[in-house]
Amino acid sequence: MGEQSSKNGFLMLTIAGILSKLLSVLYMPFLNSIIGMEGVGTYQQVYEVFTFVYALTGTGIQTAIAKYISELSAQGQEKDALRAFNLARKYLFLIGVTVTLILMILSKPISELIANPNITYGLIALAPSIAITAMLSTYRGYYQGQNRMTSIGISQVVEQFFNVAVSLIFAALLIKYGSAFGAAGGTIGTGAGALVATALLLFSFIKNRLDRQARSRDIAGITVSRKEHLTVLLSYAFPIILSNGMQNLGALIDATLISRRLQFSAGFDRKAATILYAQLGLYKQLYYVPLVIITALVTTVIPAISRNYVLKDRKAVKSNVRLSLRVTMLVIIPCGFGLSVLCNEIYEVLHYQGASLMVTGAFVTIFMAIVQTQSAILQGTNEFYSVVKSLMIGIVLKIVCNYTLVGIKGINIYGAIIGGYVCFVFPMIINQRRINKHLNMKLSLVKMSLKPLISSIFMSMVIFVVRIPVYWIARKMHIRGVIAAFPLVIVIIAGVAAYFYAIVELRGITKLDIDAMSPKLYRIIPKFFKKRIKT
């Protein structure tokens, strides 16, 4: 679990992220079979609350710690970096325990606000996870700042495995008391998985003697006081927490607003409204799958940009920015098209309901990914409040859109899809203008997306053609159950091959782009393609 290059770290986190997300996606059909769609809707609403609280106590702090640790390490202040980590760990645990108690006390008022009293038990069951994930975030922040991505990746997979296993067991044990208790049981694994992941990172920290390594590499001694550490961490954490919190606040408002508008304006009863919300939650579950690649990119980008920015290497910063946005476009655009074109087949394999949401809603993932990368770039260059402002505009527009459209019975839950586009398109435009101005660059998202877009359209056409004979054969062979995934896998492979062929022919990908994901990828590419890839 040693230190890595950003390129290998990106590949490791991508693999770990995909494995974790696949476990999560495959887990939902099993949970659905245990607690039913109404129970899944309750479960999704509980998680919207948890995700918002976790954004305040976990993800924002992790990013702030990673940024600060990477800056200190870049200047040889390893002892200061270790001290900052210890301070963050101590205070974040206290905050986590406090927030856990508050969430337990407020569980009933929150359930009344969301207009679903069934989520009360789930909030109480999930509350201890806040304290545990707060501790986990400090360790991941330190490892991220030190560019030790293998440890983070392994911890993610282990965390998700225990999360899924424990959640399914408790959901099955508690469903006999009703769907509300079954949904609550489905949340217990979150804390269990986080606890095991924290223990794993702590074991790695002790085994590899990271504290001794830090002291031996130090060239500056202790130069920063505890008060200064806390001041800097807070100055970094507050705007990041604010932006992450606002982004997840949008989802929390969805849980409250959508449920109420469906019941009190569109005319659905509580059960029907909860089932529709469950379909929206399953849709989000799927479009988050390709975003794990972008999350991996962002995790490696922030420390790299922060180091170069603090060392005033503007050329390296601009190179990282350009490369990050290019890789984001190359990866996420075909993913959006793939989800849209193959939505019926994917939903059928996973036994999900509501495939029609994905037909038009799949492309939200493209804009969300671009905003995620832009936010990492701006945060890495200390433009924290620019991210906050753009997200605030997006969320306000989303609330207005959702309130207006979801209450119309003929539109209902599809109004939330339109709100998703509004929420990310406007921040994307604002963020790019700010990046260009702040870093004195002239990057055009339209130009960067053109070749991936054309290649994705070609890929979609190939999928349409290949899908007909593959699924005709599958029907003739009466393929059912788990084996039903094989035709889908064949069509996906054909789509990936078509996209890669098109993007290479259009000269839309370079060796540098591939190396940014992992140098190992370039080695396995056939020689025919290598000759046509720009170096």
pLDDT for 466:
94
Tell me the three-class secondary structure of 393-422, residue by residue.
HHHHHHHHHHHHHHCCCCCCCHHHHHHHHH
Asked whether the predicted pLDDT for residue 371 surpasses 50, the reply is yes
User: What is the C-alpha separation between 235 and 60, in angstroms, rounded?
Assistant: 12
pLDDT for 146:
85
- Cα-based distances in Å from 423 to 25, 38, 262, 417, 431: 24, 27, 20, 10, 13
Mean pLDDT in residue range 94-101? 92
Residue type, 310: V
What percent of the chain has a predicted confidence (pLDDT) above 90? 34
- Could you tell me if 428 and 370 are in contact, meaning their C-beta atoms sit under 8 angstroms apart? yes
Sorted by sequence, the CB contacts under 8 Å of residue 207 that are 6+ apart come out as none
Output the average pLDDT for the chain. 86
Region of poorest pLDDT, from 14-28, 138-152, 399-413, 426-440: 14-28
pLDDT confidence tier of residue 362, bands split at 50, 70 and 90? very high
CB atoms within 10 A of CB 175: 20
Note the pLDDT tens digit of each residue in 264-276: 888 888 788 888 8
Mean pLDDT in residue range 203-210? 89
The encoded tokens of residue 333 equal: 């655009």
User: What is the C-alpha separation between 5 and 17, in angstroms, rounded?
Assistant: 18
Most confident of 199-208, 209-218, 251-260, 375-384: 199-208
pLDDT for 128:
93
Question: Which DSSP symbol is given to 381?
Answer: T
Q: For the chain, how big is the Rg over CA atoms in Å?
A: 23
pLDDT confidence tier of residue 519, bands split at 50, 70 and 90? low
- Could you tell me if 400 and 371 are in contact, meaning their C-beta atoms sit under 8 angstroms apart? no
pLDDT for 6:
52
The pTM score is 0.78
Tell me which H or E stretch contains 488.
helix 485-505
pLDDT confidence tier of residue 515, bands split at 50, 70 and 90? confident
Tell me which H or E stretch contains 318.
helix 314-341
Q: Where are the domains of the chain?
A: 1-215, 243-443, 444-534
Mean pLDDT in residue range 509-518? 77
Tokens 């390594």 found at: 213
- Could you tell me if 55 and 245 are in contact, meaning their C-beta atoms sit under 8 angstroms apart? yes
User: What is the C-alpha separation between 69 and 81, in angstroms, rounded?
Assistant: 5
User: What is the C-alpha separation between 356 and 276, in angstroms, rounded?
Assistant: 12
pLDDT confidence tier of residue 3, bands split at 50, 70 and 90? very low
Note the pLDDT tens digit of each residue in 217-248: 877 677 778 888 888 888 888 887 887 777 77
Region of poorest pLDDT, from 214-218, 399-403, 459-463, 507-511: 214-218
Mean pLDDT in residue range 115-129? 89
Note the pLDDT tens digit of each residue in 45-61: 888 888 888 877 777 78
Asked whether the predicted pLDDT for residue 73 surpasses 90, the reply is no
Tokens 């591939």 found at: 514
Alpha-carbon dihedral angle through residues 364, 366, 372, 377, given to the nearest 10 degrees: -150
Nearest to 290 by CA among 358, 336, 359: 336
Asked whether the predicted pLDDT for residue 2 surpasses 60, the reply is no
Sorted by sequence, the CB contacts under 8 Å of residue 350 that are 6+ apart come out as 25, 26, 28, 29
Mean pLDDT in residue range 289-298? 81
Report which of residues 16 and 365 the model is more confident about: 365
Mean pLDDT in residue range 285-297? 83
Exposure class string for 504-523: b at 16+ Cβ within 10 A, else e: beeebbeebbbebbbeeebe
Tokens 């995934």 found at: 485
Sorted by sequence, the CB contacts under 8 Å of residue 213 that are 6+ apart come out as none
pLDDT for 7:
54
The encoded tokens of residue 179 equal: 């769907």
Note the pLDDT tens digit of each residue in 252-262: 777 678 878 88
Region of poorest pLDDT, from 305-319, 476-490, 508-522: 508-522
User: What is the C-alpha separation between 509 and 442, in angstroms, rounded?
Assistant: 20
The encoded tokens of residue 70 equal: 């990477």
Sorted by sequence, the CB contacts under 8 Å of residue 142 that are 6+ apart come out as 65, 66, 69, 81, 85
Report which of residues 466 and 303 the model is more confident about: 466
Tell me which H or E stretch contains 138.
helix 128-145
pLDDT for 159:
93
What percent of the chain has a predicted confidence (pLDDT) above 70? 96
pLDDT for 171:
93
User: What is the C-alpha separation between 110 and 46, in angstroms, rounded?
Assistant: 10
